[in-house]
Structure 1
Amino acid sequence: KAYVSALLAELDLERSLLAPRLETVFVGGGTPTFTEPGAFERVLGALPEADEVTVEANPETVTPALASVLRSHGVDRVSLGAQTFQPHLLEVLERRADRDTIRRAVHTLRKVGFDNVSLDLIYGIPGQSAGDLAADLEEALALDPEHLSCYELEAKPGTRFTHAYGEELGRQADAMETYFERVVDRLVAGGYRWYETANFCRAEKRRDLRSRHNLAYWRGRDYLGIGIGAVSTIGDRRWRNAPRLAPYVAASAAGQAPPREHEPLSRDVRRRERLMLGLRLDEPLALDAVRAAVDDAALARMTSLGLAEVVRADDAATVRLTRRGRFLGGGVTVALLT
């Protein structure tokens, strides 16, 4: 409760930075649905209006009561951390939910009217076979989510997880590229648009199901982060709240901003970030906006190799990665930077 009070105090302190109407609000950074119900409702009730309001949830926390609370507070999109449907892999990840819990969570959200549900999946889990991955994709598709995020497992060096599964993680690293291609091929064949490196949305004519939160980030929009360790980027400034609870709560009690690290952003840094983030999308990126960050010789080379394509119309030009270039991803983007 003390943390929620501090969180709301920081939001009030920074509210003047917000536009009258926001593109997106995203409540995540962990599992907010584990928060005590009364405290969580306080957070939901304080959120500013936005075109899209997303809440992250673990499947085991989704009850009829929670689903109703989310709907009544204007949440219109839920992102479920399924990760995998395979029992032995859920055990590796130390997840509480099983496949029935995941299915039940989706059905519970549907019953109260949610028509925009996203599932997170992870590949490269120790012990995961190609067959396990294929089964995960089929089980996810059977639930007909509007959106899927599929991430390669990141195991940080020195952690208990890496110590326990280091050898298997090494073996999985060799299969990652193949797994990535399997994910893309199956979801695209299933009617999903591969709109960002790790994100897929159902292709519909009547509505755009791409995550507005994801798009805003990859398009270089300004954003305000609230909470411990949250990052904000507005104009030429970026700051990160310190990841410590006691100083955060103490600052709130004193009516002050929490301890922060500040980073000035030069025009060159913003351009380079715009290039790196924008090329993750399947939409073309205006070259004029990033021209100073692009190595023209490298761009010509990547184009000749079939990894990037440039389209010129009148005096304007755009660039994007080809399908092959997108599979290579960061390596191509880094090569394009001056």
Structure 2
Amino acid sequence: MGHDCQMGHVKHLYVHVPFCAHRCGYCDFVTVTGNDDRHAAYVEALLRELDAHRGVLAEQVETVYIGGGTPSKIGAPLLALLLEALPQATVETTVECNPEGVDVELAQVLGERGVRVSLGAQTFAAPLLATLERQTTPEQVRAAVSYLRAAGVPSLSLDLIYGIPGERESDLARDLAVLDELAPDHVSAYDLEAKPGTRFSIHHGRELEAQGELLERHLDLVIDSLGYSGYTWYEIASFARSREHEGQHNRAYWLGHDYLGLGIGAVSTIAGARRVNGPKLAAYIEEPATAPTTIEQIDERTRQTERLMLGLRLADGVPIAEVADVLNRTALERLVQIGIATTTDDTIRLERRGRMLLHDCVTDLLNDDDAA
């Protein structure tokens, strides 16, 4: 991905900060524990990688997302330095934080720079936090929200996980009641996904199977409760109090826009090519621009397939013309007839039941066995 004829068009930037105090058993992201003495060197390497690929970025970058890992783990001074050195987004800058890492100083750094914060609450039940191996407490979540609100953070999103081993429907209802009390601007609600082979899936396999049978009921409760609290379900796992608080960086992914990723394990999709940075911290710090990467060429069929899979996550749906080459129209007609999908304005949209069965719907729509 060099400085070629496609330079200057990418409007979305992802920055990966991999450091964590503890690697949770269900996590399969590229993360690093310990190595506190390498935080500054890693930030410097990020900026060197940015300089190497700056030519692909548009003059005005719309969104910047600093994720992890735990970006707040590097501390307020270093995070402030990173924010100042990155392109200033015209639409949205988001930083992921863990509650236990948010104090007055960090909140001020974020508030003064108008940063949207995604706070990893996950649950407000201490036993379930312990099951998830989270290094935080319900009290720290509340304190973090208070610090961030006091600092004037313009948009606050809280993450919620459901389907945790041992979780009852009453536990989820209490979590949703606390969310209603804290009144974040945005909620991201995910069912717990522990990939096969992770420590968590090995240890909790039977409990995860039991929770799997309850996920549809859990999602129903989440949708109804957040809807009653005034949130709009605009994406399969995302709820916002108003349009202005919807996650615009993630929307760029769902719409299939190009983006540049910086840091170990970061993904970039630019001009029909997907690049994945290598996961090794030492190699990246030494020379980020030439650290090992893998590159995949994205053909038109793959692009349309991904457009359908990601676009149907959104309530706005997907224009049929953008997925015409991969769409099984017979299957689409069948979904429309049974009330799971609509095709108003030549756009495929899934109704509530269809969105809850997203994977099955996408599989049907991409299955060409009985295509017309």
Give the TM-score category using the shorter length. Answer: over 0.9
| Larger RCO of the pair (alpha carbons < 8 Å, separation 6+) | 2
The residue aligned with 1:63 is 103
- Matches of 2:224 and 2:44 in 1, distance apart? 46
What is the CA deviation profile of residues 108-133 of structure 1, one whole-angstrom value per residue up to 9, with x for unaligned ones?
11111113100000001111000000
Q: Aligned pair 1:260/2:300, yes or no?
A: no
Residue 311 of structure 2: aligned partner:
278
2:187 aligned residue: 148
Local SS of the residue matching 2:166: coil
SS in 1 for 2:188: strand
- For residue 77 of structure 2, give the secondary structure of its aligned residue in structure 1: helix
Counterpart in the other structure of 1:216? 252
Q: Tell me, what secondary structure is at the counterpart of 2:275?
A: strand
Equivalent position SS for 1:163: helix
Q: Deviations over 1:260-283 (max 9, x none)?
A: 100001111111111111111001
- Which of 325, 334, 350 is equivalent to 1:321? 350
Q: What are the residue-to-residue correspondences of 1:236-247 with 2, within 5 Å?
A: 236-247=272-283
Contact kept in structure 1, 2:111 and 2:148, CA below 8 Å? no
The reply on whether 1:311 has 2:344 as its aligned counterpart is: yes
Secondary structure at 2:121 match in 1: strand
Any residues of structure 2 matched to 1:73-112 within 5 Å, and which? 74-112=113-151
> What are the equivalent positions in structure 2 for 1:26-45 lying under 5 Å apart?
26-45=65-84
Secondary structure in structure 1 of the residue aligned to 2:120: strand
1:298 matches 2:334: no
Equivalent position of 1:269 in the other structure: 302
SS at match of 1:191: coil
Amino-acid identity (%): 47
Secondary structure at 2:325's aligned position in 1? helix
TM-score, scaled to structure 2 = 0.85
Q: Distance in 2 between matches of 1:29 and 1:224?
A: 15
Match in the other structure for 2:29: none
Output one character per residue of 1:74-103: Cα deviation in whole Å (capped at 9) or x when no partner: 242000000000011011112222111111
SS at match of 1:134: helix
How far has the Cα of 1:167 moved from its partner?
A: 1.8
> Is 1:240–1:261's contact at 8 Å kept on the other side of the alignment?
yes
Residue in 2 that maps onto 1:15: 54
Work out whether residues 224 and 232 of structure 1, in 8 Å CA contact, stay in contact via their aligned partners in 2.
yes
Q: Classify the secondary structure of the residue corresponding to 2:153.
A: coil
SS in 2 for 1:65: helix
TM-score by length of 1: 0.93
Post-superposition, which runs of at least 4 consecutive aligned residues in structure 1 deviate over 3 A? none
What is the SS of the residue equivalent to 1:276? helix
Q: Does 1:250 align with 2:291?
A: no
What CA distance in whole angstroms lies between the structure 2 residues aligned with 1:285 and 1:34? Answer: 38
Deviates more, 1:32-41 or 1:16-25: 32-41
In the alignment, is residue 165 of structure 1 matched against residue 204 of structure 2?
Answer: yes
Which letter maps to 1:64? V
SS at match of 1:228: coil
SS of residue in 2 equivalent to 1:170: helix
Amino acid at match of 1:321: L
In the superposition, relative to structure 1, how do residues 40 and 209 fare at CA in structure 2: closer, same or farther (>3 Å)?
A: closer
User: Aligned residues, how many?
Assistant: 327
Task: List gaps (5 residues or longer) in structure 1.
Answer: none
Q: Give the Cα–Cα distance (whole angstroms) in 2 for the partners of residues 295 and 228 of structure 1.
A: 38
